[in-house]
Chain A
Amino acid sequence: DSGVTQTPKHLITATGQRVTLRCSPRSGDLSVYWYQQSLDQGLQFLIQYYNGEERAKGNILERFSAQQFPDLHSELNLSSLELGDSALYFCASSVRGERGETQYFGPGTRLLVL
């Protein structure tokens, strides 16, 4: 158990819908990362937050957005969902979000878009 929690574990929805994935980082970690794991793209970094502020952006679609709240939990919002958005979405956390810090991964949310 990494100490990072993600809800829900599974999500099934339809094309065009919007969903919210939630992540609670390890106690004391200020930085949260979101990753997408899909069969065709592999594991890709989406976005990073540090203490409520966006720090880095990766291959995140405009239909996707995220935020980190004052209590440091984070949400990833996916809208206008397409079949290709079906994937495993991971959240990770680290203490300061600095280069080389160990990132601790949650168990992921498996999203299926029908």
Chain B
Amino acid sequence: AQSVTQPDIHITVSEGASLELRCNYSYGATPYLFWYVQSPGQGLQLLLKYFSGDTLVQGIKGFEAEFKRSQSSFNLRKPSVHWSDAAEYFCAVVPYNTDKLIFGTGTRLQVFP
């Protein structure tokens, strides 16, 4: 079945530590790929997106993501996490035959000082 999977429901890291949030998709053709962040009481904000080309994508707030076709993955990374990064992160896809966003279940990031 077509799906977007974020296997980690909740991740806790110390401030200054590196971060990797996992995302896998299951679609026949490579969809467009996105990462959004949702802070408490806020709407979703786009961090970065991938359509084609260079598989390492830079986004806002120091985030980057790497597309790996062989693993059907689009993991989000940040080398050094700040307390303000605590939020919920959603991976999303736009399948090849549609223009609507399909979201994963989200990963809640907690940052300890």
| Residues of A bordering B, CB below 8 Å | 2, 4, 33, 35, 42-45, 48, 55-56, 58, 90, 92, 97-108
Q: Distance (Å) between the CB of B63 and the closest chain A CB?
A: 15
A105 near B43 with CB under 8 A, answer yes
Q: Mark B25-45, 1 if CB is under 8 A from A, else 0.
A: 000000010001000011111
B103 near A100 with CB under 8 A, answer no
Q: Which bucket holds chain B's interface residue count?
A: 20 to 34
The distance in angstroms between the C-alpha atoms of A47 and B42, with both chains bound, is: 21
A106 near B43 with CB under 8 A, answer yes
A42 near B106 with CB under 8 A, answer yes
B99 near A105 with CB under 8 A, answer no
Q: Distance (Å) between the CB of B19 and the closest chain A CB?
A: 21
Q: Distance (Å) between the CB of A72 and the closest chain B CB?
A: 18
Q: Say which residue of A45, A90, A106, A108 sits within 8 Å of B102 (CB atoms).
A: A45
Q: Say which residue of B44, B100, B106 sits within 8 Å of A90 (CB atoms).
A: B44
The distance in angstroms between the C-alpha atoms of A45 and B99, with both chains bound, is: 11
Residues of B within 8 A of A44 (CB): 103
A103/B101 contact (C-beta < 8 A), A42-B106, A43-B90 known: yes
The distance in angstroms between the C-alpha atoms of A48 and B101, with both chains bound, is: 11
B103 near A42 with CB under 8 A, answer yes
A2 near B51 with CB under 8 A, answer no
A48/B100 contact (C-beta < 8 A), A42-B106, A100-B32 known: yes
